[in-house]
Amino acid sequence: MTIKEETLHSNIETVNSKQLAVLKKHFPQCFDKKGNFLQEKMVELVSANEVELSKESYSLNWLGKSYARLLTNLPPKTLISEDKEHNQLDQNKESQNLLIKGDNLEVLKHMVNAYSEKVKMIYIDPPYNTGKDGFVYNDDRKFTKEQLSELAGIELDEAERILDFTDKGSSSHSAWLTFMYPRLYIARELLKEDGAICISIDENELNQLKIICDEIFGEENFIESIVWNKRIPKNDKGIGNIHEYVLLYSKSSIVKKEFLMRKDGIDDVYEFVEKQKKAKSSIRESEKALKKFFNINGYDRGITLYNGLTDEFRLWGKINMSWPNADTFGPTYDVLHPKTDKPVKVPDRGWRWKKETFEDAAQIKNGKYTNVVERYDGSLVCGRIWFAKDEKTQPSSIKFLDEVEEFLLRSIISTKSNGGVEVEELFGGKGYFSYPKPTNLLKTLLGSIKAETNDLFLDFFAGSGTTAHSVYALNIEEPLQRNFICVQLPEGTDKKKQAYKTGYKNIFDITKDRIIKSAEKIQQENPEYRGDLGFKVFATTDDFRTMDDKELTLSNLTFFDDVVLSDEEYNTILTTWCLYDGSLLTTPIQTIKFNGYTAHLCDARLYLIAPDFSSESLKALLQKLDTDKAFAPNKVIVFGSNFESAKQMELNEALKSYANKKSIELEVVVRN
């Protein structure tokens, strides 16, 4: 068994390298021995599988697109560190929620291995590029025009123009698209097959965003462009802008037709009905009051109150009885109105049901209605059929609310734009965050997808923390534990605003404190709740292994030099490696001692980072393998800078010998 030397991330990536690697893995027959792509082979392959080939295509090109694709493939420049002090607090120890500080592109790149196809839904509220929202694209990746030309496969003059706007900062459409493209591309990799993404945007970049989302997620996976009516116009001059948009895309066609909304507010309705019953209100008065309640609270979906011949209150809605298919016709027959005894108007294309089905639903026996209930507005209910007060209106079938699992999400959402008020109430004043999204909008969007316990919801433009707050609130309202991952850059706050004056020097601090305050408020309002109201904190940090040339670097140390790591640096390497190897950031890392040597175990991988690994430590390791049935690592990862070559060989030979004895395959990997 040879020792495998490993680099965490490839240092050489091109604009298409990862995409070509995927093609080579799944379609090796489409490449010749020199690695050239054989287009005709791919055409032959898809044609054989009855895939229709289309010569019509379009795409959005902009200055910087090749660079954006290169950024997608480049490895992260940072490491991931843990806020141990925060994470060890009682409310956070077992939490599965995450808040990560850092550039979201760096964070997404770190997350790819562990969180690929793990996220149920992504919601983001990126900069809108209005010219007033402060968006300016800056890039700290330093390339010469020659390097960029080679890596991106573009001409020198184009490379020079791209570097000009990335170095100097720009808010052009090209700059915004270059900023968004790699983030959306990597975000797609994180979504489950039945996952979806919601993106808030306004008209400044709506059209551009729609086209690049078609390219990244697939035009066939576009769900809807939702209009969010966020306010009522007040003294507007000219055309009052009262809306924004939310673009919805699915990862695949699995979820496209199943985007459903929770029965939002129905518990409140039933509570209202119970109060009416206890007050012994009449049926007529209860229905009037309930109709008013629906209008006030925005739940008016044609649902009214019905008691049948019992004292039970049931909510129901009307369903059209017309034949639904425009290409065919349904049955036609006379239906007599139960009060006027005159035939009602037959739908143009006939009835939805056969006559026997209709008569059964209307409780008609021997040609007569056997159960007729007149309602407060003069309409009639006969079994499962609703009639207007006369025969001029077609009847409808009845669907009881308690029989309905979900309502379809609508393409227009009207909610109060009270996000600012929510933040003000939590922080006790104004000037903490501009234009935060309201939780009622986020609850509608996040609650619209069919979720299971422990499903992950990601927001990598976390802002004030509305997404985290909304996930907490949803978990209170439904017996379901959703978990969030929020990412926020520690962008400085405005020194003139109250946030800065109060001590919030960057937006991340506001995000963190808003999540804490919202959890405290929810717990106070729901003292019996025992769900997860905590969160763990991680952050990107500079890679201390590659410092300035004047300083000693890990890469130029010899095998005989031990690297002295601070506790923070040690834990940063461990956290970064575990994440890179596919463990979630919330996965427990076990500390193990081998005759005084400290090692760590995570998901069957044993990490040897510290420099003082001795022959006695090795014996203790082998003994634990022999005697502890629960200790069964399948991979040993060694920090090469702290293990000289002789020590590496000794470890490798010992584990190789042990593997033959116990039939446990142990891979040894050396990293720097």
The fraction of the chain above a pLDDT of 90, given in percent, is 54
Instruction: Measure the CA–CA gap between 622 and 603, rounded to whole angstroms.
Output: 19
Instruction: Measure the CA–CA gap between 249 and 251, rounded to whole angstroms.
Output: 7
Strands 243-250 and 222-229: antiparallel
Q: How many Cα atoms sit within 13 Å of 493 on the Cβ side?
A: 24
Taken in order 390, 395, 400, 406, the sign of the CA dihedral is: negative
pLDDT of 559 reads: 38
**Confidence check: pLDDT of 309 > 50:** no
Contact between 100 and 539 under an 8 Å Cβ cutoff? The reply is yes
Tokens of 259: 């985007």
pLDDT band at 49 (very low <50, low <70, confident <90, very high): low
pLDDT of 37 reads: 82
Average model confidence (pLDDT) for the chain? 85
pLDDT band at 607 (very low <50, low <70, confident <90, very high): very high
User: Mean pLDDT lowest for which of 211-220, 225-234, 484-493, 642-651?
Assistant: 225-234
The angle subtended at Cα 59 by Cα 57 and Cα 65, nearest 5°, is 150
Q: Write down the residue that tokens 């104004």 correspond to.
A: 430
pLDDT band at 270 (very low <50, low <70, confident <90, very high): low
The fraction of the chain above a pLDDT of 70, given in percent, is 83
User: Where is pLDDT greater, at 313 or 512?
Assistant: 512
Domain range annotation of the chain: 4-48, 65-120+171-195+414-540, 266-405, 554-671
pLDDT of 557 reads: 41
Contact between 113 and 550 under an 8 Å Cβ cutoff? The reply is no
pLDDT of 290 reads: 57
Q: How many Cα atoms sit within 13 Å of 91 on the Cβ side?
A: 13
Average pLDDT value for residue range 132-151: 86
pLDDT of 1 reads: 54
Instruction: Measure the CA–CA gap between 437 and 561, rounded to whole angstroms.
Output: 53
DSSP code of 217?
I
pLDDT of 670 reads: 94
DSSP code of 233?
-
User: Mean pLDDT lowest for which of 6-15, 506-515, 570-579, 662-671?
Assistant: 6-15
**Confidence check: pLDDT of 390 > 50:** yes
Instruction: Measure the CA–CA gap between 231 and 507, rounded to whole angstroms.
Output: 25
